[in-house]
Structure 1
């Protein structure tokens, strides 16, 4: 038994090394600034969607992290920095999500007119257990936090283009109503499930768990490339058995090999729970967005929690 567990651990760590090799793509956004519109550069996908929903036809939104690229280890290239510097508005998540932002902001000229928005400012943030001075940055996975983040973006757009204040206010109200409806669906559906525990590959769902009465155990930490230990793997196996779980959730922008290996050992299945840190090329083509993916997440959660 001890030997089999050791073999499993070695196999898992070999797979993990392959996963790490695929992280941190050097891809860069190819979008351009547009004259006559408010140019807004966003640090990753949810902020891009919120900006588009509120800005509509008066905004040219540029999402820095390309489709299919995991944003945790991404950093801007020269073209990205040029776009950020020359745009009217720059929106980033904050709460420690983008490690490169501090250097970028420090490099701005004293006479820069760039309006900088820390989207998570004012959101109901969760302090991490590892360090009480640090926060879990995945605040957008709470629809009610997303309302606050979208409001921060709205205020910046009004400041950059006051002539279209009424449009931005109305677009925001419409989008906020969709987010509020999404929150209501989550409360209703998850309030009726018999189980309340989920096993995940990436510790990204603390906000979702807090809002809807769930508990997560993750194979890896707040970053999807945080290396699991033998103790982590053992703890996950015990958690799955103790709570009679049938699934381990994985995400699409990171290899699912580790989750599938652990699922096979624990004799459970895998299913997607998307932290919406970016879209795949297929999701872009299918017209998926934050709300549609959150609804798919809800559907999968309900299945797993029966």
Structure 2
């Protein structure tokens, strides 16, 4: 790990302060910016020398949120995508690439979400950067195309037991304290917005978010093995919150009047599959896709046929398409947030992943019971 420069700086400052008769300790300053600012470690104590504070970069908001809960006060966590920016539109600058290379850890989702990841990791070879792919070992679905309208998401028999999350596809079992990492590495598919045909939005299923948190825990424990017990304790605490969230979704959605919902962006396939719903996307995986007149007509026909009263759009992109369809069928439009990034206003209001997921649950409960 690349701690020595920070260690020398803190040591020099400490000597100067002692010489001046000052009793305060030197602290580590967090970096400004990112989708949620940065999570700065507190002052280093005797049991936690500043030389061992990890410098972590995360690719976009969910990775930042999961990582900061696992890392706690043992890391400075900085997000790369600025608040309010659609991560599909973000590309690292040379300065970003240099900053990543100088970090100890990069946490990214994978599954094709970050088209720039392969290039960045190649450029960082030999720097000692630890890369953590949060979606590693998760069965990644093919993306829902704009012509499919979500019908490939069959109502499977999903088992939801408290404290257990069984994921039959690929036999990927998650158990507390154990980390199953099976299967091949997900390939990055270039700098396009369609993710190479894969659906990377695994974080929108709380059960799969748990697996991502566990992968991050494992990676940080490899980066700083002396703190693996702390990382596990932190992860356990956050996983308990995610398990409670998963139970809320299960209980709230199991008896819904309808099981299909129309959304502008095909981001909710994993959530739909987990809770026995069917996502009907207006567009494909790209949030800025403009559907053709024929596609719009097909969605309007589906909505009328199924008496749909809510068309979902998302934050960070225009609601124009959803509003047009809603107007055509006399429905309303509402937000279903893919949590790819939070706005400055949302952050200022104290929202986080779990809070926004609860907003999504409320929106789904309303739409599915109209």
TM score, norm. by length of structure 1: 0.86
* Distance change (3 Å), C-alpha of 1:52 and 1:33: closer
Deviation at 1:162, TM superposition (A): 1.8
Determine whether 1:58 maps to 2:94. no
Gaps of 5+ in 2: 1-32, 42-49, 146-193
Equivalences, count:
277
* Distance change (3 Å), C-alpha of 1:248 and 1:264: same
Once residues 246 and 223 of structure 1 are traced to their aligned partners in structure 2, the CA distance between those partners, rounded to angstroms, is 24
Once residues 134 and 144 of structure 1 are traced to their aligned partners in structure 2, the CA distance between those partners, rounded to angstroms, is 23
The aligned counterpart of 1:299 is 362
The aligned counterpart of 2:345 is 282
The aligned counterpart of 2:141 is 126
List per-residue Cα deviations over 1:33-52 (Å, max 9, x = no partner).
98642111111000100000
Residues 87 and 341, structure 2, Cα contact 8 Å, conserved in 1:
yes
List per-residue Cα deviations over 1:54-105 (Å, max 9, x = no partner).
1111111111111100101211112321221011111111111111111111
Determine whether 1:210 maps to 2:250. no
List per-residue Cα deviations over 1:243-287 (Å, max 9, x = no partner).
111100011111112211221112100111000001011110011
Once residues 143 and 62 of structure 2 are traced to their aligned partners in structure 1, the CA distance between those partners, rounded to angstroms, is 22
Residues 141 and 205, structure 1, Cα contact 8 Å, conserved in 2:
yes
Residues 268 and 338, structure 2, Cα contact 8 Å, conserved in 1:
yes
Once residues 244 and 56 of structure 1 are traced to their aligned partners in structure 2, the CA distance between those partners, rounded to angstroms, is 47
Once residues 264 and 180 of structure 1 are traced to their aligned partners in structure 2, the CA distance between those partners, rounded to angstroms, is 38
Once residues 124 and 225 of structure 2 are traced to their aligned partners in structure 1, the CA distance between those partners, rounded to angstroms, is 24
Deviation at 1:119, TM superposition (A): 0.9
Match of 2:102 among 58, 68, 86: 86
Residues 33 and 39, structure 1, Cα contact 8 Å, conserved in 2:
no
* Distance change (3 Å), C-alpha of 1:32 and 1:56: closer
Deviation at 1:215, TM superposition (A): 0.8
Residues 32 and 83, structure 1, Cα contact 8 Å, conserved in 2:
no
Gaps of 5+ in 1: 1-27
Once residues 349 and 251 of structure 2 are traced to their aligned partners in structure 1, the CA distance between those partners, rounded to angstroms, is 27
Residues 85 and 341, structure 2, Cα contact 8 Å, conserved in 1:
yes
The aligned counterpart of 1:18 is none
Deviation at 1:217, TM superposition (A): 1.3
Match of 1:234 among 260, 282, 297: 297
Determine whether 1:139 maps to 2:154. no
Once residues 348 and 139 of structure 2 are traced to their aligned partners in structure 1, the CA distance between those partners, rounded to angstroms, is 33
Determine whether 1:47 maps to 2:63. yes
Matches within 5 A, 1:1-306: 29=34, 36=51, 37-109=53-125, 111-128=126-143, 134-306=197-369
Once residues 41 and 148 of structure 1 are traced to their aligned partners in structure 2, the CA distance between those partners, rounded to angstroms, is 20
Residues 101 and 129, structure 2, Cα contact 8 Å, conserved in 1:
yes
* Distance change (3 Å), C-alpha of 1:134 and 1:257: closer
Once residues 95 and 260 of structure 1 are traced to their aligned partners in structure 2, the CA distance between those partners, rounded to angstroms, is 30
List per-residue Cα deviations over 1:192-216 (Å, max 9, x = no partner).
2101110101000000110011111
TM score, norm. by length of structure 2: 0.72
Residues 200 and 218, structure 1, Cα contact 8 Å, conserved in 2:
yes
Residues 124 and 145, structure 1, Cα contact 8 Å, conserved in 2:
no
Q: Which has the higher helix share?
A: 1
Once residues 287 and 157 of structure 1 are traced to their aligned partners in structure 2, the CA distance between those partners, rounded to angstroms, is 26
Residues 245 and 354, structure 2, Cα contact 8 Å, conserved in 1:
yes
Deviation at 1:31, TM superposition (A): 6.0
Deviation at 1:155, TM superposition (A): 1.0
SS in structure 1 opposite 2:55? strand
Once residues 97 and 352 of structure 2 are traced to their aligned partners in structure 1, the CA distance between those partners, rounded to angstroms, is 26
SS in structure 2 opposite 1:127? coil
The aligned counterpart of 1:15 is none
* Distance change (3 Å), C-alpha of 1:303 and 1:33: closer
Once residues 234 and 148 of structure 1 are traced to their aligned partners in structure 2, the CA distance between those partners, rounded to angstroms, is 39
